[in-house]
């Protein structure tokens, strides 16, 4: 499958844009002009969720992809001019050391530093350096100098640049969930010229990584009949993982969730997606892990409840400065969602 250069370029822009939970503006600014061409109405709500409404008669379907990414926040400035920080969303302490970051809206370069190996005693070498012992070095010589550049409460994001590599893979930061944002955009794009008896809300949510917060208010607002979540999900197909521990495999197609910590996928929806994928020759797999959670937790419990399913793009090394996903998986996720929406519009999903 060939992914058009234009699509890859949009993915690059989305991946490289900083969008920590609570400050998704730059990502939203990229998505908005793209999605305005594809739907009838676009608005931003109080929390910053971007809601793209493709009007139509029929079932109200909410499709969510979150704009935010895991990041860091400056919590304190030391007298030496070094920045202490906390995590925004789930990041493993082990992946932080020596990474480069951009601090604040002006993208001030920073380095997450720590004691060099030469000066560590053998005991220290065997230990993970915890968050409390890490700091961001922005090159400031003093607290005073640092305070001129940075304020407590500003975010820091990873600086990873996006690249294509290997056989149709890409690497970059924040593929969780810019991959999902891409799937949503690509689906709306393919359906642009198609008449659908369906009322579709494409929702680019905020603050998923800190507790699926944007989805909570948008789902209440929209009151959907049916929910879909598009995610970048855990992929553990690398050496050292037993087959039964491999939640997803890269390149094997979009992953359909069965259960996670926040949602038991509606079995009717799961069976419907599998049947739709089979009918259309779209490769697919189950997300074979039961931990983690996504916006579906909120959507299926909004108001009187809405059957909800998740379609995910497997992402290796998720929640770290760099993750890897397959462009084919991304395109197949969009194909699956497109086919599913068409079928729902024709009354093909019995609930």
Positions marked catalytic:
208
Task: Choose which of 80, 153, 303, 346 interacts with other proteins (CB under 8 A).
Answer: 303
Token representation of residue 22:
């609570």
Nearer to other proteins, 170 or 306 (CB): 306
Taking alpha carbons only, the member of 331, 162, 330 closest to residue 232 is 330
Residue 289 in the binding site for other proteins (CB under 8 A): yes
Residue 258 in the binding site for other proteins (CB under 8 A): yes
Total residues in contact with other proteins, by rule CB under 8 A: 26
| SS3 call for 322 | coil
Which residues 211-230 are close enough to bind other proteins by CB under 8 A?
A: 225
Taking alpha carbons only, the member of 192, 209, 224, 189 closest to residue 303 is 224
Residue 270 in the binding site for other proteins (CB under 8 A): yes
Backbone dihedral angles phi then psi of residue 112, each to the nearest 5 degrees:
-85, 110
User: Tokens 């069976």 sit at which residue?
Assistant: 271
The conformational region for residue 212 under phi > 0 = left, psi -120 to 50 = alpha, else beta, is left
Residue 309 in the binding site for other proteins (CB under 8 A): no
Nearer to other proteins, 161 or 290 (CB): 290
- According to DSSP, residue 201 is labeled E
Taking alpha carbons only, the member of 117, 233, 132 closest to residue 175 is 233
| SS3 call for 51 | strand
Which residues 136-155 are close enough to bind other proteins by CB under 8 A?
A: none
Residue 240 in the binding site for other proteins (CB under 8 A): no
Residue 339 in the binding site for other proteins (CB under 8 A): no
Beta bridge partners of 310: 229
Task: Choose which of 111, 169, 210, 301 interacts with other proteins (CB under 8 A).
Answer: 301
CB atoms within 10 A of CB 57: 9
Nearer to other proteins, 219 or 325 (CB): 219
Residue 286 in the binding site for other proteins (CB under 8 A): yes
Residue 275 in the binding site for other proteins (CB under 8 A): no
Q: Is the dihedral of CA 150, 155, 159, 162 positive or negative?
A: negative
Listed ranges 37-45, 77-85, 151-159, 237-245: which one lies at the site for other proteins (CB under 8 A):
237-245
Binding site for other proteins (CB under 8 A): 225, 243-245, 258-259, 262, 264-267, 270, 286, 288-291, 300-307, 351
């Amino acid at each position: 499958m060939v992914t058009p250069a234009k699509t890859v370029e949009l993915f690059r822009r989305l991946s490289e844009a900083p969008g920590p939970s609570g400050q998704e503006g730059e990502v939203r600014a990229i998505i908005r002009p793209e999605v305005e061409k594809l739907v009838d109405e676009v608005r931003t709500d109080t929390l910053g969720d971007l809601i793209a409404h493709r009007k139509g008669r029929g079932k109200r379907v909410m499709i969510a992809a979150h704009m935010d990414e895991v990041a860091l926040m400056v919590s304190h400035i030391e007298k030496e001019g070094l920045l202490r920080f906390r995590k925004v969303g789930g990041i493993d302490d082990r992946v932080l050391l020596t990474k480069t970051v951009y601090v604040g809206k002006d993208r001030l370069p920073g380095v997450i530093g720590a004691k060099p190996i030469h000066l560590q005693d053998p005991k220290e070498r065997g230990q993970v350096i915890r968050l409390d012992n890490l700091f961001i070095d922005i090159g400031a010589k003093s607290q005073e100098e640092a305070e001129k550049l940075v304020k407590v409460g500003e975010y820091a994001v990873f600086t990873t640049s996006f690249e294509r590599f290997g056989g149709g893979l890409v690497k970059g930061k924040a593929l969780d969930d810019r991959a999902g944002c891409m799937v949503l955009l690509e689906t709306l794009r393919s359906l642009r010229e198609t008449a659908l008896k369906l009322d579709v809300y494409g929702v680019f949510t905020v603050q998923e990584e800190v507790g699926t917060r944007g989805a909570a208010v948008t789902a209440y607002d929209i009151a959907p009949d049916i929910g879909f979540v598009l995610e970048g999900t855990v992929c553990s197909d690398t050496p050292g993982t037993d087959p039964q521990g491999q939640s997803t495999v890269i390149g094997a197609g979009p992953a359909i969730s069965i259960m996670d910590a926040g949602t038991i996928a509606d079995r009717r929806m799961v069976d419907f997606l599998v049947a739709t994928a089979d009918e259309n020759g779209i490769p697919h797999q189950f997300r074979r892990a039961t931990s983690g959670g996504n916006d579906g937790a909120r959507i299926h419990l909004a108001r009187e409840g809405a059957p909800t399913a998740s379609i995910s793009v497997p992402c290796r090394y998720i929640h770290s400065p760099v993750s890897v996903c397959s462009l084919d998986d991304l395109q197949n996720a969009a194909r699956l969602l497109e086919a599913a929406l068409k079928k729902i519009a024709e009354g093909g999903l019995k609930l």
